[in-house]
Amino acid sequence: MAKVSVIGAGSWGTALALLLNKNGHEVTVWSYQEEEVRELSEKREHVTKLPGVKIPEEIGFTADIKGAVQGKDVVVLAVPSIHVRSTARMISPYAIKDQKFVDVAKGIEEDTLMTLSQQIEEEIPQADVAVLSGPSHAEEVGRGLPTTVCIGARTEETARYLQELFMNEVFRVYISPDILGIELGGSLKNVIALAAGIADGMGYGDNTKAALITRGIAEISRLGVKMGGAAETFGGLAGIGDLIVTCASVHSRNRKAGYLMGQGKTMQEAMDEVQMVVEGVYSAKAAAKLGLKYGVSLPIIEEVNKVLFENKNPKDAVNELMLRGGKAEHTALPWQKN
């Protein structure tokens, strides 16, 4: 049995707390909101985020960050990506050398273009940082529906330890040394999911969505490999797997926000209606900047940015994508010589 703290009491943090409790670990969930701590402790249910899912009495809740970190074998960071750095900075005085931290959020910092694990390592240099990603909506994990994810870590020893910590009969875990690739796949797919949602909101069909998913993973892979990620990662759970579910699922906040924009709402109106952090909005600018920095063409991501931040009509954005000059799908494939 391990002592585990989950930092962040949203839907994903709560779902992982339930999973870890089921696996026999001692679990504490931290929230910065005293009222949320009281409500979860008393009702034993996250009424707004995971309605109908009961929280066992063994799971503790606290607003004391020091108590949530000290003496824990593993700390799971489940706060929204925009709060990862500030939360890691708050945690740092209480973290010990080689304490294991698992980031389960997805995003890229717009100003620095750093991934979340890089931010955590900068703020908590004594930590042993890993990441978890894959097709895993909290609404389904919280109900115990089967899924498969990938954990990335610096060493195989840490990866194997965390694999055993999380894995059970409904939550299968693979391991990988490609932390960068896993994080890029998880971050950039949210931007593509906004595009998929916009297409749905405009009434386009399954063909359109399949095209966006396929060309979206091509963009993500081009950039990810140029930055040092492994091509295999983008063809796996943290790449195409996570992209498919985020573009297609009714649980996807990114798809939902895009859908609302496709129906004519502004970005802010869509985010207000979703009532949760729409990670793709925060990653979109960073993704476009990374494309410029590494000289990689990202046409879908660029058009999403124009819709989000330049008030471009979504229909015009689709036309731009469709009317681009003709290209080969895979430039590395050879042609037969005459």
- Tokens for 2, please give them: 């391990």
Expressed in percent and rounded to 5, the helix, strand and coil fractions of the chain are 55, 15, 35
Tokens linked to 300:
């879908």
Annotated catalytic, 209? no
Return phi, psi of residue 102, to 5°: -115, 115
CA–CA dist 242, 245 (Å, integer): 5
Residue 131: phi and psi, rounded to 5, are: -135, 155
Contact between residue 255 and residue 276 where contact means Cβ atoms under 8 Å apart: no
Catalytic residue among 49, 72, 106, 189: 189
* CA 131/CA 116 separation, integer angstroms: 9
Q: Residue 142: which H helix or E strand, with range? A: none
299 neighbors 318 (Cβ within 8 angstroms): no
> Which residues are identified as catalytic?
189
